[in-house]
Chain A
Amino acid sequence: MAQSASDFLQGPSQPGGGPEAEGPGVVARTPRQLFWRRFKEDRLALFGGFLVVFMITVALAAPVVESIVGHPYDEQYRDIGTNAFGSPNPPTGSFIFGFDDLGRDILVRTMYGARVSLTIAIVATGVELVIGVFLGILAGFMRGWVDTIVSRFIDLILSIPFLLLGIALSVTDFLGGGEKLIIFIIAFFGWPYIARIVRGQTLSLREAQFVEAAYSVGAPTRWIMFREILPNLLAPILIYGTLIIPQNIVGEAALSFLGVGIQQPTAAWGQMLAAATPYVALGKAWWFMLYPGLALFITVLGFNLLGDGLRDALDPKTGR
C-alpha cells in the first residue's frame, strides 16, 4: 500500500533541475536593470518623464531667461504693458507671452511660478509620505490602542475643512506665512489619506506567511515592519505619491488663487490665474490665463503619466 507510494517517490533526484535550469549564458540581472528595461518600453511614461524634466528645466532656467530677456519678474512696465483702461497688453516684441495686469512679463513670471509649484508640491508630498507611511505601518502592525489613537486622529483631521483652515491660518502669523505655511497646510491634510491606505495594506500584510517566516528566523519588529512589510507597500505608496504630487500642485494653486501663502511680488500660478480671472471673464487678455494655466496642465499631466509608468515598471507582476 503505502510502500508503493514511497517507491514512486524515490524518483530520480535532479538537483538544479526544474524548469528554471538554464545554460551558462544567462546573466543575473539586478532589480534596477529589470525596472529600467520595463520602463524604457513605456512610451507614455517616457513622455510624462520628458514633461516633468521639461518643467524642472523651466524652473531652473527661470533666472537665466530673466537675464536674457532683461525683464525682472517683479518689474512693472505699466507704460507699455497696460492700456488706457488698465487692461494688460497682448504679446509683443520681447514680451512673447504678453503682460499681466501690472505690466509684468508673463513668460518670466510663469517660469518663476514653476519653482514655487514644484518645490511646494514635492516637499509637501515628501512630508506626507514620511508621516503617512510611518503612522500607517505603525497603526496597522501594532493594532490595539496605537491603531485607535492614529485612526481617530485621522478622522479628526479629515473633519477640518481644508480651505477654511488655510484661509484662517493665512491671516495669522503661523510659520511666518509664505511657502512654509502652504507646505504645512497641504501636508497636514494629505498624510491621513496615505496613512489610511498604508494601514489597510499593513493589516493584511502582517498576516502574510512571509511575515511568519520572518518571525521564525527571529526578526525583530522593526525588521518586519520596514524590511518585510514596507517593500510590499512600495507600489501603493508610489501610486498615491505620484497621484498626490499633481494634486498638491493643484492644491497649492488653489491656495494661492485664494491669496493664501505666496504673496506678491513672488509669482505663483494660482495667484496669476486669480489675477487673470476678471479680465478673461470679460473676454480680454487670454494670454494672462493661458500660459500659467498651460504650465499647470503640463506639470500635472507629466507627473500623472510618469507615475503610471513607474507603477507598471516597478510592479514585477504587471504583465505587459
Chain B
Amino acid sequence: MDQTMTQAASSQDPSRGEPLVAVRNLTKRFPITKGIVLQKEVARVHAVEDVSFEVYPGETLGLVGESGCGKSTTARLLLKLIDATSGNIFFEGTNITKLKRREMRPYRREMQMIFQDPYASLNPRKTVGSIIGAPFTIHKTEGEVKKRVQDLMDRVGMNPEHYNRFPHEFSGGQRQRIGVARALALRPKLIVCDEPVSALDVSIQAQILNLLEDLQDEFKLTYVFISHDLGVVRHISDRIAVMYLGHVVEVAAADELYQNPKHPYTAALLSAVPKGHTDTDLTQRVVLTGDVPSPIDPPSGCVFHPRCPKAREVAGSAGSVPENCRTEFPPLGEVSRSHLCACWYPLKEGESLQKAAHA
C-alpha cells in the first residue's frame, strides 16, 4: 500500500476495515484558454478542490450538492475518465491516479458508471444486445455473450427478447435499465451512479432505486451515488458527503447528517427540502443570500464565508465575518464520532441556523 494513503487517512474508520476507494486531496482545475493558435491560459475553473473521502465495501456513499459544485467531476475523476490535476485515488489500496489507459483496463472491470442521461449515454446506432454485450467483447470474457446479455436483461427487469431493439424504442426508465445492465455486466465492485434517476419520472425513479438496492444486496455492490435530490440520497445512502464549490464540507451517516447537520451550508441545504403538507415549516427555511460564487475565482478562506449566516453571527454584525473564515479553509475534521465537518464554527446539536441568521 502506498504510504500517503495511510498517512492522510485521518478520517478512516478502523472498524470498517480497508476502504474500497480512498480519495486523497483530489483537485481538478480546468484551464480556460484564449486564442486559437497560441492557447494562452487565462484562468482556471476550480471544479474540485482538495477533496478527500473514502468508500467502504458494501456501502452507499451519497454525494450531494448544488449544480456545478463538482459532484460529477469527482465521479469522473474517480473512474479516471478525466485526469486529476493533483491528488491521489486508491482502489483497494493501489494508487490508480497515474495509470495509463492500458494499465487501467483491469481496474475498469471493477469500477463502472451509471450515467445521468439515459438518452445520451446509449449509442443510438447499436442494439441493446450489443450495448450490454460490449464489456464482454472488450474484455474478451469467456462464454456466450448473447446468453449472458439476456440473463442481465432479465435481471434488470427487461424483456430478453428485446435484445435486437435500438435504444430509441424504449422509454427513459427502460433505457436506464439498459445502463444498469451495462454497468453490471462485468460484476464490478464499485458502481458510480451519476444522478441515475434525475432524468426520470418520479414513479420510474422509485423502480430504478429499488432495482439498484436489490442489485446491491445480490451482488455485494458498493455505490457512490450522486444526486441533488436530497430525498433520494437519504433514501439510498449509508453515508453522505456534502459538496460546495468543489469542496467536501461535511461527511456523516445519512440519518446523522439529516438530523444533526454541523456545517451551516448543510443546514441551509436541508432546510430547503420541501417538508410535505405543513406550510408552517416555511418559516424555518434558511434562505442564503447571493449566488454561488464563480468557481473561476473562488472566495478566499472558507469558500462558503461570503454567504454563511453562522459566520455573520459569530462576527456579531451583518457585514463582517471572522478573520479565520476569510483567510483559511477549515480542515475537514471529526466533530463527533464518524461525523466530519469543514467549518471553524460548526453548529451545535439542536442549534438552529434560523436563529443564527436572525441574530
Q: B46 at interface (Cβ–Cβ under 8 A)?
A: no
A217-B273 contact given A19-B171, A212-B81, A231-B125, CB 8 Å threshold = no
In the bound assembly, the distance between CA atoms of A22 and B207 in angstroms comes to: 18
Interchain CB contact under 8 A, B230 and A220: no
Contact residues in A for B162 (Cβ distance below 8 Å): 20, 28
Q: B168 at interface (Cβ–Cβ under 8 A)?
A: yes
**8 A Cβ contacts from A1-55 to B:** 1-6, 8-22, 26-31
Interchain CB contact under 8 A, A10 and B120: no
**Cβ 8 A contact of B122, one of A6, A18, A30, A210:** A210
Interface digits, B179-198 against A, CB 8 Å rule (1 contact, 0 not)? 10010011000000000000
Interchain CB contact under 8 A, A18 and B174: yes
Contact residues in B for A16 (Cβ distance below 8 Å): 157-159
Nearest Cβ on chain A to B270's Cβ, whole angstroms: 8
In the bound assembly, the distance between CA atoms of A21 and B123 in angstroms comes to: 22
Interchain CB contact under 8 A, B258 and A2: yes
In the bound assembly, the distance between CA atoms of A317 and B139 in angstroms comes to: 31
Nearest Cβ on chain B to A157's Cβ, whole angstroms: 23
Interchain CB contact under 8 A, B135 and A20: no
Nearest Cβ on chain A to B222's Cβ, whole angstroms: 16
In the bound assembly, the distance between CA atoms of A192 and B258 in angstroms comes to: 60
In the bound assembly, the distance between CA atoms of A231 and B124 in angstroms comes to: 9
A213-B205 contact given A2-B234, A17-B157, CB 8 Å threshold = no
**Cβ 8 A contact of A231, one of B126, B173, B182:** B126
Interchain CB contact under 8 A, B276 and A232: no
Nearest Cβ on chain A to B201's Cβ, whole angstroms: 10
Interchain CB contact under 8 A, B123 and A232: yes
A18-B275 contact given A217-B112, A217-B182, A316-B166, CB 8 Å threshold = no
A219-B206 contact given A6-B235, A228-B123, A316-B166, CB 8 Å threshold = no
Residue ranges of A at the interface with B (Cβ–Cβ < 8 Å)? 1-6, 8-22, 26-31, 208-210, 212-220, 223, 227-228, 231-232, 234, 316-317
Can you list 10 pairs linking A and B with CB atoms under 8 Å apart? A6-B231, A6-B234, A9-B202, A9-B206, A28-B163, A210-B122, A212-B81, A215-B81, A232-B125, A234-B125
Residue ranges of B at the interface with A (Cβ–Cβ < 8 Å)? 76, 79, 81, 101, 104-105, 108-109, 112-113, 115, 117, 120-127, 134-135, 138-139, 156-159, 161-166, 168-171, 173-174, 179, 182, 185-186, 202-207, 209-211, 214, 230-232, 234-235, 258, 270, 273-276, 281
